[in-house]
Structure formats: C-alpha cells, structure tokens
Structure 1
Amino acid sequence: MNSGQFFKRMKFYYFPIFLLLLLLLLTSLRLHGSSVGIYNYFFYGSDKDPNLIYGHPRGIRSDEWLVLTPWTVSQVHNDFKPESSIYLAGQNFLFSDVPTKHWSTIFKPQNLVFLILPVEYAFSFKWWFKGFLLIFSLYLIFMLITNENYFISIMGSIAAFFTPTIQWWYSTFAPETISFAALALYFFIQAVQKMAKKERWGLNLFLFSYFAICFGFIFYPPFQIPSGLTILTIGGLYLLLVSKKHSIKPMLVPILGALSVIIFTGMLFYIQNKDPIYKITNTSYPGKRFSLGKDASFLPKVIYGFYNLQLLYDRNIVPPILGNQSEASSFSPTSLLLLPLLGIVIASSTKRNSPEKLLTAGCAAIPVLLFVWGIFGLPQFLAKALLLQYVPPSRSIPYLAVMNIVGCVYFLTASKYVDQSQKLDILRIVSIIYVFLFVLAIGIHLREKYPQYIYNPLKILVISSANAVLAGALAFRKEKTAMGMLLLLSFISSAQVNPIYRGLSPLQNSEVISELPARKNDVVFASYYPWLTNYLAANGFRVLNGTYYFPNVDFWHSFDPNGDYLHIYNRYAHIFLTHTNDPDQITISLMQQDVVQIEISPCNKKLEEIGVNHFLSNFPLENVSCLNEKSVIRLPNTTLYIYENPSVIYK
C-alpha cells in the first residue's frame, strides 16, 4: 500500500474517530438525554433543576424514566444478577435492555460498560453509544451505496439519528435494532466481496456473526422483523449477483459455518431459558398480541410526519388518531413520494443490466410490503409466513424512517447513471410540484381538522416549500442542497425531543432517601404512589409492585386463588395499588394494555403473609389500624407518607 492509498484509507476512519471522541467526552461529563429529571419535578415542582442543561424532561417517555432507567440503576443493588430479588414477585432482566452478569451480555455491547464504570458514567455512555452505533452503522452502509462519498454518508447518517421517530423512541430498542441489522448486513457483504476476491475474509465473517447475534438478542420482534427481512432480502440478492461473476461454492462452507454459530448461540440461550421464554410467549400482552395489519392510524402517522415539528410543543393537541407524542412521531417521507420517479430513473440507467436495479428493487420491497400491510393488510398465510403478525404497523415506522433516508441516498447515487433528457427534466419538475402540493394539502387538512395542532398558515407554507426544495435537490442531484435540507428538516423536528441532563441525582434524591428506613433485606415496600414504585427499587428497596417484564403467575395467584383475574395480570405490566377501607377486599382490574390496578388495603392478610411491612403514599392512608405512621416527607411539590406494619417480619 503506497502513501496515497494509506491516507485515503485513513480518511475513511476520520468520522468514526470523531464520533468516538465525542462519545467519550459526553460520557466523562455524565451527560445524557434521559427524562429522569421528571422526579425533580415530582419533588420540587417548577423550581430550577441544577442538572438540566437543555430542554425539559418528557413525561410521555415514561417507558424510559419510569421503567428502564430505574430498572438499570436497581441492578447496582442487585449485583447485576439476571434475576432480581429486589422485586418481591421476582424479575428476570435477561430479555430486557438492562445490564446483567450473564454470558448473553457479550452480545449487548451497550450494557457491558455497566460492569466496569460507575453507574452514572455507564448510563451516559450507553445513552450516547446507541446514537454512535446508529450513525456509524449507517455511515458504513451509505459508504457502500455511494462508493465512498463521504459527504453524503456523513450527512445521511446524522440525519437518520435526528429523524423524529428515532428520537422519540430513542430509549427503546429501535436504534440498536437498526444498528445491529445494518452492521450485520455490511460485514456480510464485505465478507462475500473479500471471498470473491480471494482476500482475507475471516474478521468480516466473524463480525457478521457477532452483530447478527446482537440483533437476535434484542428480543423485540415488532422492531426486528422488518430489519430481519431486509437483511435476508439484500444479503440473498447480493449473493446472487456475486454468483454471476464468481463461483460461490468455496464461499458456502464459511457462510454456513457462520450461520451455524449464530443458530447454536440462539439455541443455547433457548435451552437455558425455556421456562421464561414459555412464560413470555404465553402472556396476554405482548405474548399473545397478534396484528392483523390494516391499521387506520398507520397512513396518517406517516403522511402527517411532514409536520412532526408540532410534536415538540406540549401545548399542541396531538390529533387523536395519532395517539400521544411518541406514538405520533414519524418522519418526512419525501423519498417515498419520489419512488415513482426513482423507478423511472433506475429504469433509465445507462447501466442497462446493472446490479443496482436489482438491489434497488430489493431495498424497496420490504418498505412497500410494510405499507401494504399497514394500509390494506395481507392474507393470513402470508402474514404468518413473513412473521408480520408480530408487527403492529405503527411499530414499523422507525424502520421506514431510516429506509426513507436510505432512499434519499440511493436517489442521489442512482441519478449518476441516468442519461440527461428533456423528458426526465419535465418529470423531475412535475415531481417537485407534486411534493409541494401534497405537503401543502396535508398541512391545510391538519389546520382545518386539528387547528389546536397546527394553525399558522405561514408555517405550513414554509414546511411545504422546504420539502419541495429537498425533492428538487434529490431530483436534480444537488448533493449538498439535498443532504443539507434533509439534515435540517430532521434536526429542527427533533432536536428538542430529549433534554440534555447531567447525572442521575433525581433518581437517588438524598432528601427523600434519608427519610426512608435503612435498606435491609427485611424491609419490603408497597407503594400507593405509582410514580415512585420503581424509584424505590432503584434505591435498593425491596418492593411488591412496580413494573414487571413478565409475571410470576404463581406469586400473583395468591391474590387471585380462583384465577378469575389471570387474563389481566398475565402480562408485561405496571402494577398500581389503590387503597380500599375493606381489609378483606382484593379487586384486580386492567386500566390500559400495560397497567394493572390492584385495589387492596395495607391491612389485608395477603400482604402480611408475603412480608410487606412498609408503605409509601402521597396521601394519608385512612382506616389502617395495623399501621404506624413512621415519617412524613414534606417537599415543595408533594408530601410523602411512610407507614410501617410493625407486626410483619419479612423472611
């Protein structure tokens, strides 16, 4: 390798190195985007939060601040064991995105750092590592698509990171699912390329196997299946194309060997965890949740995505059909509107038999399939064969958002091989006008039907014009304008979704914790204040209720001896307690798909039998002769009451 080739190769790594340094800097400052500051609001109201650097906590992101973050911090007190004894009914964290000391954590790189660093630094690292991995993985994919166009690859990968639906769903598995799928696909293609050229391929095939296993260990089919179908489609088509120029027989043995390693690892995990897998797959939710496709909210969520900017403002009332802010989040689907033009561009390619045509068809196949699934549904046999019955259409939107960016990148790349003609120029101009009028019509429709969501006609005109500029830049292959506008639209629609916060102090508030009893194994809490159940667990207190990834049916059966409520509590659920004056009454009800409410008195014999001896509430408990009031914690925005049942000893 001469010096010119060396520096060209080094240029490839400049952007990833910059991302890595930024990741380390943010980690060292303990900064992250969690909405954990919501606890500060619970305690102190609107008083300025000294650790809030930018933005504000999002109450709607409760799956993060109420569940995942407290679960993660609770593991410090559980020595990161897969099964947590902090939750009285038992909690198995192997299937969640929570750090554990288990061999499968090797394939959850975002969680490995918790076994090395203090929790605040590890949490910060994980938060930004998810973004680093997404940007890096798509950078690699875009470098392949564009034949190493650095500008398009860098801008496109950053635009994907700032896509609204990615930011609103950032704390979920969505970023990792796409990242691991992209990395597995990239290293598979690299391995096949090197085998075809008879170069060293071992490292690439190893990395393909590793990231494919990482992808498999996400354990969230609604996100995994669209990306998995894409890996199979593109990987299979690429292998087919290579087979036309090279013999693939020598490649089959190493490829089958890699697939065997992936299957063996999955089977080993399954054999070791058959019981929890059986329990999860047989829960009422999500185990028995099957989608029929044809979701009335799917198409509005996609096409209203042009106006995702409005979701940033809590005062705006989200159209009811879209659900809440997170559920409503989407993307600006400009490249999807240009699909007909892209098809004509590819068909007009000067490379008449180019592989790009087949790969383009493969890239478009799964998004088109998902649109058909979401809008019209599919025959049951086909939905089962493709596993789409496990994919509620709205859960495919993060995948479609990233494929929209891929479409923009592909559009710029494919246009290089098109003969310039007046007919195509006319089609391009028509497409630009079509995009402008379409986005404008959506804005006018929203203004007329949901004026409390968007009313300003100037804003509608600006958003329509910006998308028309993006469409024009894509159509006429103006790379800098196109990628600049794509990044701008993504950034302004999502930059304020998550706050910038320092540390985890609200979750470990010393003023509250100092008033609670000393953490001992014989102290067991039940909380009548639902927002602080997992908070107690995060501080090492053993708790009855909280959020359970899947239920211990035998445990909850003691509250329901006849099994009348099994269909209610046999699910992933937040367990809320409500107070009743009747010490013998137990009523279990389903408040929403993932919220189970148990109406029970603190003096109920069942609570005594299982050893619950402390109670937390944000209101005085009445008719509780079995309890002693232990302390009252008066804070600016709330008052917490701590009670003890001195006759109960947990064993």
Structure 2
Amino acid sequence: MPAGDGLPRMRVLLAFPALLLLVGIVLVAFDVSGTSSGVFHSQIAYGKDPALVLGTPQATRSDEWNVQTVWAIAAVQQGLPTINESFPGGMDTTLPQDLPRIDWTVAFRPHLWGFMLLDIGRAIAFKWWLPGLALAAAAYVFVVTVLPRRPLVAGLLAVGFLFSPFFQWWYLTTTLYPAVWALTTMTALVWAFKRDSRRSRWAWAAVVAYITVMMATGIYVPFIVPAVLVVIFFAVGLLLEQRGLGNRWRSTLARTVPVLSAGVAASMVTGVWLLTKITTVEAFLGTAYPGHRSTPTGGNDVLSFVSAIGSSFTQALNAQRPGLLGPNSSEASTFFYIGIFLIPVVGWIVVRQARRRKSLPWVLIGLTGVVLLLLAYMYVPGWDTLARILLLDLTTGTRVRIGMGLASLGLLAYTIRYLDDNAVRASRWVVGLSAGLFALSQAAIGYVAVRNLPMMIQAVQLWWLWALISAAAIYLAGRRRPLLAAIAFFIVTVAGSGLTNPLYRGVLDLRETAVSHGVIVTDGAAPKTWVGVGGGLTTAVLLESGVRAYNGFQGAPSRIVWDAIDPGGAFADQWNRLAGVNWKAGAGEPTVSNPAADQIMVTFDGCSSFAQANVGYVLADDHSLDLSCLRAIESFDLPKASLTIYEVIAR
C-alpha cells in the first residue's frame, strides 16, 4: 500500500536498492567484475585464463579494457597523481580519461573511491559495479514511484533495463551516469509535485545536485544531451498535468524550485571545475575529432532504423556478427523499445480522455514528443539550426538511442499507471496493432538475414522466440498484465545481453609479466622516454609499467609531445584529436596517419632526428625495424609475438 499521497513508502522505495547494495558488496569482496582485460591473456600466456569465470572477453569493448583499465593501472603504478606522467609533459587525469587520482574532484566520481582504499582487482570491480547498480537502483526508484503498488514489476523492469544491449555494449560511466541522472531527476520531480513536505523536496534536490555534477564531470556530451531532452519533455508534461488537475501555476512552479536550485548549484560546481581546467578544455574542444564534430539532421538511413529496432537479434552482437545491425557490436546495440511500441496505446488513451472531457495524459504526450523529436533528428533533414540550438548536433544517430531508451521506460511506466488508475485495458485491436508492428518488424529483419546473412542468423537462432516473447510483453502491458509483461521484458533483455561482458576475477595486470618487469628494471636503472612499436600490447605494457612514453590514448593533445614528433605541424589534422597513439616501423622522420577517426599511427625510425633527440628505449614486436640505431637489451618470447627492449644509440 502506498502512502496517503500516492507515493511508495520508504521501505518499498529503498528495499530493492538495499538488495543491490548487498549484491555489489559481495561481488567486490569476491573480486569479480565484467572487465574484458582478459583479451590480453592469449597474447601473454598459453592455455585457459584462470581468472575467467564465465563468458568471453569482448575485444570490441576496447574503450574499457585497452583504454580505461590500462590507464587506471598506469595511474595506480604512478601513485594516483593529478597529472599523469605517461606522456612527456604529463596529462591531466580528469579530462577526458577520468583516471584514478587524489584531488577534490574525486568526491564527485564515486566509482574511483576504491582505488584509494582497495587492491587493484577490487578497485576495478568497485568501478565496474557502482555505475551499473546505480542505474538499476535509479530505474527501480523511478518506476516504483510511478507504480507504488507494483515493486516486483519495478524490480524486474529495472534489472531488464540495466541489461539492455545498449548499456551492456557501452558499459562506461559516461554512458550510465546520464541515465542515472535522468531517472533520478524525473523521480525527484514526481515527488516534488506529490509530497507536500519541503524537507522531502530539498532532500531529493540534494541527490539530484550531486548526481548532476557526477554526470557533468564525465563531459561526454553525446550521451548527456539526449538524457537532458527527455527530462525537459517529461518536466513539461508534469507541469501541464498539474495544471490540468486545477493547480495554480505559481504554486506548481514553486515546487520545482529545489530541483532547479540543485541544477544551478551543480552548474556552479561544474563551472568552477571547468575553469580550473580551462587550458585542457580549450585544447580538447579545439581538436579535429571530436571537438569540431557536428552531426547534421537526417543523417540516418534504413539500416540504422533496422539496427535500432532489431532487439530480438541482440545475441548476434555477442558473436561479433552484427550483420544488418551495424558496423560493430557497440554501434549496433539498442534497446527493446517496449514503451515506444506502446505509442498506439498512448494514442488510444489520449482519445479516451478527450472523449470523456478529462485532463489529457500530458506526461505520456511529452514522452511521445521527445521520441518524435529524436526520430526527426535521425531521419528528417533540413532543420540543422534548431538542432544546434537543442545541442543535438553534438550527439550521433547511434548515441541518441539512450534518450529513446529512457523515454521508452517512462512511456511503459505511465501507460501501466493509467490503466491501473482507471481499471481499464486498452482495446485488443490497438494493443494487437502495437504488438503486431513489433513482430512484423522482427520478421522482416529475420527474412532478410536468413536469405542474405546466414552467419548472422547462426549466432542468434532463437531470434523468433525472443521476437514472440517481446511481442507478448507489449501485448500484456497494454492489456494490463504488467507483471507478466515485466517478466517477458526481463527474459528477453537478460537472455540477449546477460553474457555481453564476462565475469572475471580481478584484472589482468600486465605489471605481473616478465616484459613489464624488464621495462621497469631497464627504466629504473636509467630513466628515459620510450616508444612502443607494433601491436597494442606494447603500448599497454608501457602504460601499465608507469614509464614515460610516446604511446597511449590521448585526451587534449600535448604540445610537448607533438612539437617533438611533428615540429612543423605538417600532420596537425592527423594528431589533433582524441585518439590512441601507436607506432609502426618506418624510414626517416615520423609521419602521422589515421587508420580510424580515433586512432593515430606514427612511423618510427631509430636513426631519425626525432628518435635521436627524444627517445631512449623502444619496446617492439615489429621485426621490420631498422636496427642501425638500436641495441637489443632483452627479448621475450610470447605466444603470438616476440617482444624486444632496445636502447636507441647514436647514428
């Protein structure tokens, strides 16, 4: 039973988050996370990885295992400095890599607290689980606030939402925190309008303020913008709903003051933080990629639409065979848009209310409006000026799906709420249309895939079953069977994405390898600057070993680094970007190219003026190197390569 104001009682509100907290404590205590750092295992050792508990490390998720985790270990190796010294001249740890460090900003980066208190494996586990469990908790609190009599439904939907393919394939704080913020802010607004207690409104505002800073300091705008738009449309819907109930504008707006104040306070804290980092921020915004990126409206095609709605084929992503769904598993990941496919039911609700001359369901209308706006951004060209005003040009067609997913969850919760409050079921014809549209869309994708992409279908042979269960979920939700709908939603999301990320004990720490030991000993005897030539393992070893090197994933490009490599600035467009810096054998002075937008490849010759003046050691698995100016110090035979430490000698 809810409280007298229709909100859930505190024990109902906090029970599921408390359960998630206990689960998180157990997982961290047992040193278990979802890191894919085990990708390195086959490169450094033979046989099965003893730390792999379940699943398979995902090479596609290189932002996690080859960037975030490697940099985190590098920061630990260096003692958690504010300025990481891996690159010559140092790199600010806060932008954009969000490295473990010890400074005041970590107060708003709770996922990093473990690095100050725990061993590296448990710190990685803490960093892994906190954002994900926070998302599940925020989703539960939002849904149970809307549906206070249905906590089990809320729990199932929350876990299912966390296991949406989009979140599992983009599992980083930059993805998860905007969703946490959106759901928490929407919940705070509902409480503000329903509960008369000022203390309650200010308590929720304090939570919103903290999470706002937490999200903003992640600075990844492509995920933040869609989440903010969803909250704005939701808030407008709530305001119109209150007006429809006969409440005065002045008293209605007064209830939003705490949340608005939280936004102002959070903006001030974020602004102070950005001012202290203004040099780094300006350099980052001045990059060719992504600083100058602006995406025009209507840039998506039919295949992107297929990718967005093809949730029944999610298991193909786990097999790295996205097929029709996209260029890679992360870009192809999506949501099961159960709420969006209920929009015909929303239309039925609007017509029903209008015929009865009752207040329209403005929250449902607002959430439908933001869905239409995001769809227009993706598929309707010609309104770029307005899109820039809304900051939509700073996101992309695949990343905007986070807004669609949030709106879908809201549409589902409020549709169930309306049906419960009015003790009605939507028309069988309307609900059948909603479920039928979904089923037909999956059948069409399946037909094309069976005829043209058998490898994709081989990886997801039960797509038809997931399509039927998903269609049933839509039908059951519209026919006021929310528990059965939530169970079906839970089944299809967990079955599709439950093993996207492995269960892994600890973290694969390259500092424990003989190669890293050799690098540390060599550098310790006579510290000099390194270059790693060849595969990604050389870069990872150098970073985790804590030595100074011209390798790594850079944020704002360092002038010290690039003035040494490219003193004339001939390759400025190639290196002025957020990208990984790697090296390959070449002749003469360094040349710079971009194998991908976020990759920088530089050529290395030990006899070049650059190497002679700036490089002391080389770690290489590339045996095409000219050894005229290199002296071998130590070699290491690994399963897939032979790595050698060289010293640069005078030509």
User: Given the two structures, how large is their TM-score scaled by the length of structure 1?
Assistant: 0.91
524, 530, 535: which one aligns with 1:525:
530
Shift of 1:198: 4.8
468, 486, 490: which one aligns with 1:487:
490
Match of 1:137? 138
Structure 2 Cα separation of the partners of residues 179 and 598 of structure 1: 39
Structure 2 Cα separation of the partners of residues 50 and 280 of structure 1: 40
Distance 1:408 1:190, change over 3 A: closer
Of stretches 614-623 and 136-145 in structure 1, the one that deviates more from structure 2 is 614-623
Shift of 1:639: 1.6
Deviations 1:351-401 (A, max 9, x none): 967777111112222222111111123512211111001011111123323
Match of 1:561? 567
**1:440-459 correspondence to structure 2 within 5 Å:** 440-454=443-457, 459=462
**1:108-507 correspondence to structure 2 within 5 Å:** 108-171=109-172, 173-191=174-192, 193-194=194-195, 196-198=196-198, 200-239=200-239, 241-242=241-242, 244-245=246-247, 247-248=251-252, 251=255, 254=258, 257-294=261-298, 295-296=300-301, 297-314=303-320, 317-319=321-323, 322-349=326-353, 357-418=361-422, 420=424, 424-454=427-457, 459-507=462-510
Shift of 1:335: 3.2
**1:590-629 correspondence to structure 2 within 5 Å:** 590-610=594-614, 612-620=615-623, 622-629=625-632
The answer to whether the Cα contact below 8 Å between 1:347 and 1:357 also exists between their aligned partners in 2 is: no
Deviations 1:389-432 (A, max 9, x none): 101111112332343333333332222245758x9223333443
What is the SS of the residue equivalent to 2:361? helix
Q: Which runs of 5+ in 2 are unaligned?
A: none
508, 512, 522: which one aligns with 2:511:
508
Distance 1:285 1:55, change over 3 A: same
Match of 1:547? 553
Shift of 1:605: 2.1
Shift of 1:528: 0.7
What is the SS of the residue equivalent to 2:567? coil
The answer to whether the Cα contact below 8 Å between 1:142 and 1:409 also exists between their aligned partners in 2 is: yes
What is the SS of the residue equivalent to 2:627? coil
The answer to whether the Cα contact below 8 Å between 1:74 and 1:539 also exists between their aligned partners in 2 is: yes
The answer to whether the Cα contact below 8 Å between 1:36 and 1:507 also exists between their aligned partners in 2 is: no
The code of the aligned residue for 2:312 comes to F
What is the SS of the residue equivalent to 1:180? helix
What is the SS of the residue equivalent to 2:399? helix
Deviations 1:303-322 (A, max 9, x none): 223311222224xx432671
Structure 2 Cα separation of the partners of residues 249 and 142 of structure 1: 23
Shift of 1:223: 0.1
Match of 1:80? 80
The answer to whether the Cα contact below 8 Å between 1:383 and 1:389 also exists between their aligned partners in 2 is: yes
The answer to whether the Cα contact below 8 Å between 2:313 and 2:460 also exists between their aligned partners in 1 is: no
Distance 1:221 1:645, change over 3 A: same
Match of 2:67? 67
**1:27-66 correspondence to structure 2 within 5 Å:** 27-45=28-46, 47-66=47-66
Structure 2 Cα separation of the partners of residues 622 and 455 of structure 1: 42
Match of 2:13? 12
The code of the aligned residue for 1:401 comes to G
Runs of 4+ residues deviating >6 angstroms: 353-356
Structure 2 Cα separation of the partners of residues 320 and 443 of structure 1: 10
What is the SS of the residue equivalent to 1:395? coil
Deviations 1:187-215 (A, max 9, x none): 34434544x45555332222222122222
Of stretches 302-311 and 495-504 in structure 1, the one that deviates more from structure 2 is 302-311
Structure 1 Cα separation of the partners of residues 247 and 146 of structure 2: 20
The answer to whether the Cα contact below 8 Å between 1:134 and 1:175 also exists between their aligned partners in 2 is: yes
The answer to whether the Cα contact below 8 Å between 2:88 and 2:560 also exists between their aligned partners in 1 is: no
Structure 2 Cα separation of the partners of residues 204 and 351 of structure 1: 37
What is the SS of the residue equivalent to 2:36? coil
The answer to whether the Cα contact below 8 Å between 2:620 and 2:645 also exists between their aligned partners in 1 is: yes
The code of the aligned residue for 1:329 comes to S
CA RMSD of aligned residues (A): 2.9
The answer to whether the Cα contact below 8 Å between 2:316 and 2:459 also exists between their aligned partners in 1 is: no
Distance 1:336 1:263, change over 3 A: closer
The code of the aligned residue for 2:413 comes to V
What is the SS of the residue equivalent to 1:348? helix
Shift of 1:440: 1.4
Of stretches 228-237 and 515-524 in structure 1, the one that deviates more from structure 2 is 515-524
574, 577, 580: which one aligns with 2:583:
577
Distance 1:511 1:361, change over 3 A: same
What is the SS of the residue equivalent to 2:593? strand
Distance 1:452 1:49, change over 3 A: same
What is the SS of the residue equivalent to 1:338? helix
Shift of 1:504: 1.7
Shift of 1:570: 0.4
The answer to whether the Cα contact below 8 Å between 2:297 and 2:383 also exists between their aligned partners in 1 is: no
Deviations 1:601-650 (A, max 9, x none): 0232212322x2111111335432222111111123332111112569xx
What is the SS of the residue equivalent to 2:632? strand
Distance 1:259 1:462, change over 3 A: closer
Deviations 1:204-252 (A, max 9, x none): 2222221222222220110000111122232344345446526257557
Distance 1:160 1:237, change over 3 A: same
The code of the aligned residue for 2:540 comes to N
What is the SS of the residue equivalent to 1:401? helix
Shift of 1:509: 2.8
The answer to whether the Cα contact below 8 Å between 1:89 and 1:544 also exists between their aligned partners in 2 is: no
The code of the aligned residue for 2:156 comes to M
| Number of aligned positions between the proteins | 639
Match of 1:536? 542
Structure 1 Cα separation of the partners of residues 289 and 176 of structure 2: 23
The answer to whether the Cα contact below 8 Å between 1:348 and 1:419 also exists between their aligned partners in 2 is: no
Structure 2 Cα separation of the partners of residues 272 and 393 of structure 1: 32
What is the SS of the residue equivalent to 2:646? strand
The code of the aligned residue for 1:60 comes to T
Match of 1:587? 591
The code of the aligned residue for 1:12 comes to L
Of stretches 277-286 and 337-346 in structure 1, the one that deviates more from structure 2 is 337-346
What is the SS of the residue equivalent to 2:519? coil
Deviations 1:494-540 (A, max 9, x none): 01111110112443333332333425371322101331213321221
Identity score, percent: 22
The answer to whether the Cα contact below 8 Å between 2:226 and 2:400 also exists between their aligned partners in 1 is: yes
